[in-house]
Amino acid sequence: MQRLVLATRNRHKVTELHAILAGTGLAVDLVGADAYPDIPDVKETGVTFAENALLKAHALARATGLPAVADDSGLCVDVLGGAPGIFSARWAGTHGDDAANLALLLAQLSDIDDAHRAAHFACAAALALPDGTERVVEGRLLGTLRHTPTGTGGFGYDPILQPLGDTRTCAELTPSEKNAISHRGEAFRALAPVVAELLG
């Protein structure tokens, strides 16, 4: 069975991609980057989600000699010209401080009416092979931003993004409901046939 490495130390992402690939009938031995603890994290120096995903996938493929998958994602707010975008995880200055990022974004949008609070989650998922072959696909989850956080599920900006056609935020959805419509789920599902094509 072909081993595939996912460029994350987040077990939830590994579980999510494993479920998506299994749903396509593709049999791979999927492991996270924590299976290779000596490999350093890659600096995300790209200026797009796709560039960052490819940087991580290529670095992991080179380091392990195995096919590698990586993703990069974030929140894009229309009235902010697509920001925070690739800076979503460090919008308030410290990488991964969800509460601070959320508070800063809500403060910046405090005077913006509901009609102008359109936003979307974007995700680029990349597959890189050790020989340099690469593919990138993208997924989006369209919605609007609430004025206050609601819900306890998910992470990041989930408590303020209300998907189009729903009355709940992403943080109020069950994991399976979120995976069915999420930007990451969409990107990984689009990547699955690419993985099947290149590794099949």
Q: How far apart (Å, rounded) are the C-alpha atoms in residues 24 and 30?
A: 14
Q: In which residue are the tokens 């990488």 written?
A: 95
Q: How far apart (Å, rounded) are the C-alpha atoms in residues 36 and 177?
A: 32
The question of whether 72 is a catalytic residue gets the answer yes
Pairing of strands 68-77, 3-6: parallel
Q: Which of 29, 34, 41, 72 is catalytic?
A: 72
Catalytic annotation, residues: 72
